[in-house]
Amino acid sequence: MGKKRIQIFDTTLRDGEQIPGCQLNAKEKIKIAKKLEFLGVDVIEAGFPISSPGDYQSVKEICKSVSNTVICALSRAVEKDIEIAGLALKYAKRPRIHTGIGTSNCHIRYKFNSTPEKIIERAISAVKYAKKFVEDVEFYAEDAGRTENEFLSKICENVIKYGATVINIPDTTGACLPEEYGKKIRFLKENVKGIHKIILSTHCHNDLGLATANSLFGVMNGAEQVECTINGIGERAGNTSLEEIVMIFKQNSHLNLFTNINTKLIYSTSYLVSECTGMKVQANKAIVGVNAFSHSSGIHQDGVIKKRETYESINPEDVGINKSSIILTARSGRAALAFRYKKLGYFLNQNYLDLVYSIFLKYADEKKEITDMELKIILKKANFNNKKNNKVLHTNTNNNSLRINVL
């Protein structure tokens, strides 16, 4: 069976930027958009133009700065929103309007004080109106995760009839379990007339920490596009993280799925987004957290020094990180200590390593992490102790004997 290409729809600049304190100016948005194009995303959701004049302007400028990636603008199922989105996209080479409406009972009743029939009418009108501005129209069924599958099918069938090219099935509140979300996608694939003419998209939120798992199940059950953000930023607990879903496909060739992402640019993109938004990446974040390729316990360090794969399933170079790091803490062993000294140019023989290690442990018990500077201080201390005992210290560098100066 041939491999299936999954489209990556990046919404860092829209869903990601919605979070408090994360607002980006036009210059930052353009810089990120260019980086996303370079990274290889298929679609950039550049903003929600009706939301503010600044957002409108940014979407317009992004359209001029990006060469070939599809640029998408969000709107509600409201004519004025759609019109403004259409105008903002005027300069895009490949424009897409993303319009839609809440479809769950909760949204229909409490948000719109409406009925399912009227919601279908509004969905159809929105798609028809958006088609006046662009050919490529994506429809979102907001809160699809909590929408009954029969009703969801009905609304999908209708918007396809009126020209929707992509249908987005958001798990807006992150309420679904992976199996449940996967079944929803499969149900749509098997029951909606015309579904094979359009691209079916996942859009999962992370309220229960399941956004990436839900997107994966969506794709495994027939979805062709994943909506995601860099570093998983987004409303509340965030969205599916681009780096996670892309690396899941790459690491699991049996899934027969691939994307257009140049994974070697993942880390630099993550860094840029974190710098611009001011949103620090949590240390233990999969793929891009500072600890993602750091090893601190003695057993793991010993293994990684012997062969990286013993404790790493992903090669850090694949995501643009030069190497795994060996962090020295009180849980580290002699192998890690010798490894770090070797990097500083000191080759310690076994007896000397034992002595240095005992001093190291005293330091490490009092500190979180031992730095290169402290390693040098530890070495001086070891020399000093030896000098007191009238011992001459030698260390070996390959075949040459290097004497460490006693200071």
Where do contacts with ligand KIV occur on this chain (CB under 6 A)? 15, 140, 142, 168, 170, 172, 203, 205
Report, in Å, the least distance between residue 69 CB and Zn ion.
Answer: 20
Residue closer to ligand KIV by CB (options 230, 335) is 230
Report, in Å, the least distance between residue 150 CB and Zn ion.
Answer: 23
CB-CB contact of 17 with 277 (8 Å): yes
CB-CB contact of 215 with 248 (8 Å): no
Q: Which residue has the tokens 């690491």?
A: 251
Report, in Å, the least distance between residue 16 CB and Zn ion.
Answer: 9
Residues 14-53 binding Zn ion (CB under 5 A) are: 15
| Sequential DSSP letters for 172-188 | TTS---HHHHHHHHHHH
Q: Which residue has the tokens 């004049």?
A: 53
CB-CB contact of 152 with 103 (8 Å): yes
The closest residue (CB) to Zn ion is 15
Residue closer to ligand KIV by CB (options 142, 243) is 142
Report, in Å, the least distance between residue 61 CB and ligand KIV.
Answer: 22
Q: Is 302 in the site for Zn ion (CB under 5 A)?
A: no
| Sequential DSSP letters for 140-156 | EEETGGGS-HHHHHHHH
Which of ligand KIV, Zn ion, none does 225 bind, CB closer than 5 to 8 A by kind? none
CB-CB contact of 46 with 31 (8 Å): no
Task: Report the C-alpha gap between 254 and 363 in whole angstroms.
Answer: 47
Residue closer to ligand KIV by CB (options 138, 244) is 138
Residue closer to ligand KIV by CB (options 16, 316) is 16
Which of Zn ion, ligand KIV, none does 95 bind, CB closer than 5 to 8 A by kind? none
Residue closer to ligand KIV by CB (options 98, 300) is 98
Which of Zn ion, ligand KIV, none does 76 bind, CB closer than 5 to 8 A by kind? none
Residue closer to ligand KIV by CB (options 104, 395) is 104
Report, in Å, the least distance between residue 234 CB and ligand KIV.
Answer: 8
Q: Helices 116-130 and 149-161: crossing angle, nearest 10°?
A: 30
Q: Helices 79-88 and 53-65: crossing angle, nearest 10°?
A: 40
Task: Report the C-alpha gap between 309 and 59 in whole angstroms.
Answer: 43
Report, in Å, the least distance between residue 76 CB and ligand KIV.
Answer: 8
Q: Is 171 in the site for Zn ion (CB under 5 A)?
A: no
Which of ligand KIV, Zn ion, none does 360 bind, CB closer than 5 to 8 A by kind? none
Residue closer to ligand KIV by CB (options 141, 219) is 141
Instruction: Give the tokens for residue 331.
Output: 């849980």
Q: Is 331 left (phi over 0), alpha (psi -120 to 50) or beta?
A: alpha
Q: Tell me the residue ranges of DSSP E strands in 54-122.
A: 70-76, 95-102
Binding site for Zn ion (CB under 5 A): 15
